[in-house]
Amino acid sequence: MILESIVTTMNQEGRVNIAPMGPLVSETLAHSNPEDETMVLRPFHSSRTFQNLMQTRRAVVHVTDDVDLFARAAVGQLGDQDTLRQWVQPIENERYWVLHDCHRWFAVDVESIDDHPPRADMTCRVIKSGIVRPFFGFNRAKYAVIEAAILATRTHLLPRQEVESELRHLQTLVDKTGGAAEEAAFQFLTQAIAEQYASPHPGGSV
Protein backbone atom coordinates (compact mmCIF):
# COMPACT_ATOMS: atom_id res chain seq x y z
CA MET A 1 0.00 0.00 0.00
CA ILE A 2 1.02 3.65 -0.34
CA LEU A 3 1.77 5.48 2.91
CA GLU A 4 1.48 9.27 2.71
CA SER A 5 4.52 10.53 4.53
CA ILE A 6 7.10 13.26 4.95
CA VAL A 7 10.60 12.27 3.85
CA THR A 8 13.81 13.96 4.96
CA THR A 9 17.02 13.60 2.96
CA MET A 10 20.42 15.28 2.91
CA ASN A 11 22.91 15.96 0.13
CA GLN A 12 26.68 15.54 0.29
CA GLU A 13 27.10 19.14 1.44
CA GLY A 14 24.85 18.53 4.45
CA ARG A 15 21.81 20.47 3.21
CA VAL A 16 18.57 18.95 4.49
CA ASN A 17 15.43 18.62 2.36
CA ILE A 18 11.89 17.93 3.58
CA ALA A 19 9.29 16.68 1.09
CA PRO A 20 6.02 14.74 0.98
CA MET A 21 6.17 11.30 -0.60
CA GLY A 22 4.05 8.15 -0.79
CA PRO A 23 6.36 5.14 -0.39
CA LEU A 24 5.12 1.64 -1.13
CA VAL A 25 5.06 -0.28 2.15
CA SER A 26 3.91 -3.64 3.43
CA GLU A 27 1.07 -3.66 5.96
CA THR A 28 3.32 -5.73 8.23
CA LEU A 29 5.29 -2.54 8.86
CA ALA A 30 2.48 -1.36 11.15
CA HIS A 31 2.21 -4.58 13.15
CA SER A 32 5.73 -5.87 13.64
CA ASN A 33 9.22 -4.73 14.52
CA PRO A 34 9.99 -2.51 11.52
CA GLU A 35 13.76 -2.95 11.61
CA ASP A 36 14.96 -4.86 8.55
CA GLU A 37 11.61 -4.40 6.76
CA THR A 38 11.71 -2.85 3.29
CA MET A 39 9.80 -0.09 1.52
CA VAL A 40 10.03 1.51 -1.92
CA LEU A 41 10.57 5.25 -2.38
CA ARG A 42 9.52 6.59 -5.80
CA PRO A 43 10.97 10.08 -6.30
CA PHE A 44 10.72 12.02 -9.54
CA HIS A 45 14.03 12.69 -11.30
CA SER A 46 13.31 16.42 -11.13
CA SER A 47 13.09 16.46 -7.32
CA ARG A 48 15.73 17.33 -4.74
CA THR A 49 14.72 14.15 -2.92
CA PHE A 50 15.88 12.09 -5.91
CA GLN A 51 19.15 14.01 -6.17
CA ASN A 52 19.86 13.62 -2.46
CA LEU A 53 19.06 9.91 -2.44
CA MET A 54 21.36 9.34 -5.40
CA GLN A 55 24.15 11.08 -3.47
CA THR A 56 23.77 9.68 0.05
CA ARG A 57 21.38 6.69 -0.24
CA ARG A 58 19.76 7.63 3.09
CA ALA A 59 16.38 9.03 4.20
CA VAL A 60 13.92 9.17 7.07
CA VAL A 61 10.25 8.43 6.37
CA HIS A 62 7.78 10.04 8.81
CA VAL A 63 4.14 9.40 9.63
CA THR A 64 2.57 12.72 10.67
CA ASP A 65 -0.77 14.54 10.61
CA ASP A 66 0.82 18.02 10.55
CA VAL A 67 -1.12 19.52 7.63
CA ASP A 68 0.84 22.78 7.68
CA LEU A 69 4.06 20.80 7.19
CA PHE A 70 2.54 18.77 4.35
CA ALA A 71 1.31 21.94 2.65
CA ARG A 72 4.54 23.92 2.91
CA ALA A 73 6.79 20.98 2.09
CA ALA A 74 4.75 20.20 -1.03
CA VAL A 75 5.54 23.59 -2.57
CA GLY A 76 9.02 24.02 -1.10
CA GLN A 77 8.10 26.87 1.23
CA LEU A 78 9.67 25.81 4.52
CA GLY A 79 12.13 28.70 4.49
CA ASP A 80 15.91 28.82 4.19
CA GLN A 81 18.20 26.08 5.45
CA ASP A 82 18.44 27.52 8.97
CA THR A 83 14.65 27.74 9.25
CA LEU A 84 14.15 24.30 7.75
CA ARG A 85 16.54 22.71 10.23
CA GLN A 86 14.32 23.90 13.09
CA TRP A 87 11.84 21.19 12.03
CA VAL A 88 14.36 18.36 12.45
CA GLN A 89 17.04 16.89 14.67
CA PRO A 90 20.03 14.73 13.65
CA ILE A 91 20.61 11.12 14.65
CA GLU A 92 23.40 8.64 13.94
CA ASN A 93 26.12 11.31 13.67
CA GLU A 94 23.98 13.53 11.43
CA ARG A 95 23.51 10.77 8.87
CA TYR A 96 19.71 10.99 9.24
CA TRP A 97 17.35 13.85 10.14
CA VAL A 98 14.18 13.19 12.15
CA LEU A 99 11.21 15.54 12.55
CA HIS A 100 10.78 16.86 16.09
CA ASP A 101 7.01 16.33 15.83
CA CYS A 102 5.60 13.22 14.17
CA HIS A 103 3.87 9.96 15.06
CA ARG A 104 6.49 7.50 13.81
CA TRP A 105 9.70 7.59 11.82
CA PHE A 106 11.75 5.06 9.89
CA ALA A 107 15.40 5.68 8.99
CA VAL A 108 16.15 3.82 5.76
CA ASP A 109 19.08 3.00 3.49
CA VAL A 110 18.65 2.58 -0.27
CA GLU A 111 19.59 -0.96 -1.29
CA SER A 112 18.72 -0.99 -4.99
CA ILE A 113 17.42 1.36 -7.68
CA ASP A 114 15.13 0.52 -10.58
CA ASP A 115 15.36 3.62 -12.73
CA HIS A 116 12.53 4.26 -15.19
CA PRO A 117 12.16 8.00 -15.90
CA PRO A 118 10.47 10.19 -14.90
CA ARG A 119 10.66 8.29 -11.59
CA ALA A 120 12.91 5.77 -9.90
CA ASP A 121 11.88 2.90 -7.63
CA MET A 122 14.33 2.80 -4.73
CA THR A 123 14.07 -0.26 -2.50
CA CYS A 124 15.05 0.76 1.03
CA ARG A 125 15.66 -1.17 4.23
CA VAL A 126 14.64 0.15 7.65
CA ILE A 127 17.71 0.36 9.88
CA LYS A 128 16.22 2.29 12.82
CA SER A 129 12.77 3.55 13.87
CA GLY A 130 10.99 5.38 16.64
CA ILE A 131 7.65 6.59 17.98
CA VAL A 132 7.34 10.25 19.00
CA ARG A 133 3.67 10.72 19.92
CA PRO A 134 0.40 8.75 19.65
CA PHE A 135 -1.82 8.96 16.59
CA PHE A 136 -4.82 11.16 17.45
CA GLY A 137 -7.37 9.87 14.93
CA PHE A 138 -8.75 10.16 11.40
CA ASN A 139 -10.09 13.44 10.02
CA ARG A 140 -11.41 13.98 6.49
CA ALA A 141 -10.17 17.57 6.31
CA LYS A 142 -6.60 16.43 6.98
CA TYR A 143 -7.01 13.93 4.15
CA ALA A 144 -8.26 16.75 1.91
CA VAL A 145 -5.17 18.86 2.67
CA ILE A 146 -2.89 15.92 1.85
CA GLU A 147 -4.72 15.42 -1.46
CA ALA A 148 -4.34 19.13 -2.22
CA ALA A 149 -0.63 18.90 -1.38
CA ILE A 150 -0.26 16.05 -3.86
CA LEU A 151 -2.03 18.14 -6.50
CA ALA A 152 0.41 20.98 -5.79
CA THR A 153 3.29 18.70 -6.80
CA ARG A 154 1.56 17.72 -10.04
CA THR A 155 0.78 21.08 -11.65
CA HIS A 156 3.43 20.38 -14.28
CA LEU A 157 1.54 17.21 -15.23
CA LEU A 158 -2.18 17.96 -14.79
CA PRO A 159 -4.42 20.47 -16.61
CA ARG A 160 -5.54 23.42 -14.49
CA GLN A 161 -9.25 22.71 -14.99
CA GLU A 162 -8.88 19.19 -13.60
CA VAL A 163 -6.97 20.37 -10.54
CA GLU A 164 -9.39 23.21 -9.79
CA SER A 165 -12.34 20.82 -10.03
CA GLU A 166 -10.71 18.49 -7.53
CA LEU A 167 -9.92 21.39 -5.21
CA ARG A 168 -13.58 22.41 -5.15
CA HIS A 169 -14.54 18.90 -4.04
CA LEU A 170 -11.84 18.87 -1.37
CA GLN A 171 -12.90 22.32 -0.14
CA THR A 172 -16.25 20.83 0.86
CA LEU A 173 -14.50 18.31 3.13
CA VAL A 174 -12.42 21.05 4.74
CA ASP A 175 -15.48 23.26 5.29
CA LYS A 176 -17.47 20.42 6.86
CA THR A 177 -14.87 18.69 9.01
CA GLY A 178 -11.79 20.88 9.38
CA GLY A 179 -10.48 23.12 12.10
CA ALA A 180 -8.42 26.29 11.84
CA ALA A 181 -5.20 24.44 10.97
CA GLU A 182 -6.81 22.51 8.12
CA GLU A 183 -8.56 25.60 6.75
CA ALA A 184 -5.34 27.63 6.79
CA ALA A 185 -3.28 24.86 5.16
CA PHE A 186 -5.88 24.31 2.44
CA GLN A 187 -6.12 28.00 1.61
CA PHE A 188 -2.33 28.20 1.50
CA LEU A 189 -2.24 25.36 -1.04
CA THR A 190 -5.09 26.79 -3.11
CA GLN A 191 -3.16 30.05 -3.46
CA ALA A 192 0.13 28.27 -4.16
CA ILE A 193 -1.46 26.16 -6.91
CA ALA A 194 -2.99 29.24 -8.53
CA GLU A 195 0.42 30.93 -8.50
CA GLN A 196 2.06 27.86 -10.03
CA TYR A 197 -0.37 27.82 -12.95
CA ALA A 198 0.15 31.55 -13.43
CA SER A 199 3.89 30.93 -13.72
CA PRO A 200 5.38 30.13 -17.14
CA HIS A 201 6.96 27.06 -15.53
CA PRO A 202 4.45 25.30 -13.23
CA GLY A 203 6.04 23.64 -10.22
CA GLY A 204 6.97 20.01 -9.82
CA SER A 205 7.88 17.72 -6.96
CA VAL A 206 10.31 18.51 -4.18
pLDDT digits (tens, 9 = 90+) for 36-55: 999 999 999 999 999 999 99
Is there a single domain that holds both residue 105 and residue 180? no
Is there a single domain that holds both residue 76 and residue 148? no
pLDDT score of 86:
94
Q: Which residue from 184, 189, 124, 178 is spatially nearest to 152, judged by alpha carbons?
A: 189
Is there a single domain that holds both residue 34 and residue 123? yes
Which residue has better confidence, 165 or 27? 165
How many domains does one find in the chain? 2
pLDDT range class, residue 206, cuts 50, 70, 90: confident
**With 70 as the cut, is the pLDDT of residue 203 above it?**
no
Is there a single domain that holds both residue 100 and residue 187? no
CATH of the domain at 189: 1.20.58.290
Is there a single domain that holds both residue 154 and residue 68? no
Domain end marker among 131, 153, 171: 131
Mean pLDDT of 175-190: 98
Is there a single domain that holds both residue 63 and residue 23? yes
pLDDT score of 204:
64
Mean pLDDT of 57-65: 98
Q: Which domain holds residue 72?
A: 5-131
Is there a single domain that holds both residue 45 and residue 99? yes
CATH of the domain at 88: 2.30.110.10
Q: For 114, phi and psi rounded to 5 degrees?
A: -105, 100
Between CA 125 and CA 107 the distance in angstroms is 8
pLDDT range class, residue 20, cuts 50, 70, 90: very high
114 domain residue, yes or no: yes
Q: Which residue from 43, 40, 65 is spatially nearest to 54, judged by alpha carbons?
A: 43
Between CA 117 and CA 106 the distance in angstroms is 26
Distances 147 to 32, 69, 122, 128 between C-alpha atoms, Å:
28, 13, 23, 29
Domain end marker among 99, 131, 163: 131
pLDDT digits (tens, 9 = 90+) for 121-180: 999 999 999 999 999 999 999 999 999 999 999 998 999 999 999 999 999 999 999 999
20 domain residue, yes or no: yes
pLDDT score of 31:
77
pLDDT score of 202:
66
